[in-house]
Amino acid sequence: MARKFLYVIAVCVVLYILARLALTFYAEDLSEMAFVPDGPFHERPALADNAYRKPDMWIARPGMKQDADPARWLPAGAQRAEDPARPWVFFIHPTSYIEKGDWNADLKDATARKYARLFVQTMASPFNGAQAVFAPRYRQAAVGAFLTDKPEGSAALDLAYRDILAAFDAFITQVPADRPIVLAGHSQGAFLLRRLLRDRIAGTPLAGRVIAAYAIGWPVSIDHDLPKMGLPACETASDSGCVLSWLTVADPADTSMMMAAYARRKGLDGQPVGQSPFLCTNPLTGTRGGSAGAARNTGTLVPDFKTASGELVAQTVPAACGPDHFLHIGPPPKLPLSAFVLPGNNYHVFDMTLFWSNLRSDFARRSAAWAAKQKAQG
């Protein structure tokens, strides 16, 4: 009996080792098999002109009761504060549709809606000192669209972008002409935000009203994206009217999957980005590049996905922009996050929550800097 038990344990150990080896050496192939849709791309009609006048087209928006608006959530210990510049925030949530049944999520997909709400709660909440936070629903591309060279993937992202354009146009009509705006997005949201900046901000009067654009979790190519976005990179902690971006990994990091996804997409100038350098803002210092120890981290949000809540843990996670342009946090932090860490020590899911309190402070600081600049200009 004991010998049979040892055999079972041995088999389990071997299977575990094989699984880890498969994830290590075939992560990209396995991810493509698991997430890239097999069927054709289904073109869908444009949303109605008044689609975003409907309350249900927004995950977060003014007028919702506080307990119904995920962007107004705060973790225990965080203090509610009102930003004196009274900015309006437009937030594009990351991919919450991880099925492979279609190339784009249906707006009524229950699982995608559930996780989109959770992402807005944890990632848009650092900005809730603003006068208003808007987070639209959109027919997001499936996560598999980023894992393939198939033209269907690009078509799915184009469809998602058309919805975001419509949502932004509806958003901006509601913003008073004298109010500043903040643009933010994570992952697919950041990918689409790059295009939005090119098409709606660059070269327009709106550029002067942007406090900051937080394009986090997707590479912003310094050569192929940034010159077309209409705003420079944020160089210092007190800059406003600029772009911030970072992609988080722990060490040792394997960034090959992310770099392959990056290389699949063309830059905003229409040229292949290849392995071109991309922007790395250090969220602990607010500066472009550089490093900071964990003592500078005023609060990592450790989510509890089961209860849709979380707690802040300070001075645990450092950050350094590496020569590979990724934001490195050293060895995996001793926090209960491992179940959602992607292959290669990729902390993509936690790009914003690892630095939740610092991001909240960054937003407030840049907002104050923008207001001071406007006052100085008369």
| Helix residue ranges per DSSP H, the chain | 2-35, 110-123, 151-174, 188-196, 256-264, 356-376
Running DSSP on this structure, what letter comes out for residue 279?
A: -
Q: Which residues, in sequence order, are CB contacts of 257 under 8 Å at separation 6+? A: 27, 28, 31, 342, 343, 344, 346
The overall average pLDDT reported for the chain is: 91
Contact 241, 210 (CB under 8 A): yes
Cis peptide before 252 (omega within 30 of 0): yes
Same domain, 262 and 294: yes
pLDDT in tens, 89-128: 999 999 999 998 999 999 999 999 999 999 999 999 999 9
Judge whether residue 1 has pLDDT over 60.
no
The residues facing 210 across adjacent strands are 181
Range of the domain at 25: 1-35
Answer with the residue of higher pLDDT: 327 or 77.
327
Q: Would you state the structure tokens that stand for residue 360, as one six-digit string? A: 């909240």
Same domain, 323 and 346: yes
Q: Quickly tell me which residue has 């790395």 as its tokens.
A: 280
Same domain, 202 and 283: yes
Contact 341, 347 (CB under 8 A): yes
Report, as an integer, the average pLDDT of 259-287: 97
Same domain, 3 and 123: no
Label residue 132 by pLDDT band (50, 70, 90). very high
Same domain, 25 and 113: no
Write down the pLDDT at residue 309: 84
Write down the pLDDT at residue 141: 98
Same domain, 19 and 140: no
Give the span between the Cα atoms of 4 and 192, in whole angstroms. 55
Give the span between the Cα atoms of 174 and 165, in whole angstroms. 15
Give the span between the Cα atoms of 339 and 288, in whole angstroms. 30
- Which is it for strands 181-186 and 287-288: parallel, antiparallel or unpaired? unpaired
User: Percent of the chain at pLDDT above 90?
Assistant: 81
Answer with the residue of higher pLDDT: 351 or 307.
351
Same domain, 83 and 200: yes
Same domain, 57 and 186: yes
What string of H, E and C letters represents the secondary structure of 237-263? CCCCCEEECCCEECCCCCCHHHHHHHH
Count how many domains the chain has. Answer: 2
Same domain, 15 and 62: no
Judge whether residue 273 has pLDDT over 80.
yes
Same domain, 104 and 188: yes
Picking from 232, 215, 210, the residue whose alpha carbon sits closest to that of residue 373 is 210
Q: Is 302 helix (H, G, I), strand (E, B) or coil?
A: strand
What's CA 263's distance to the chain center, in Å? 18
Same domain, 258 and 141: yes
Label residue 170 by pLDDT band (50, 70, 90). very high
pLDDT in tens, 188-199: 999 999 999 999
Answer with the residue of higher pLDDT: 305 or 167.
167
Picking from 290, 270, 272, 271, the residue whose alpha carbon sits closest to that of residue 280 is 290
Same domain, 278 and 346: yes
- For the ranges 8-17, 19-28, 227-236, 340-349, which has the lowest average pLDDT? 8-17
Judge whether residue 146 has pLDDT over 80.
yes
Q: Would you state the structure tokens that stand for residue 315, as one six-digit string? A: 């001075």
Judge whether residue 229 has pLDDT over 60.
yes
pTM of the entire predicted model: 0.92
Report, as an integer, the average pLDDT of 274-285: 97
Label residue 14 by pLDDT band (50, 70, 90). very low
Report, as an integer, the average pLDDT of 179-188: 98
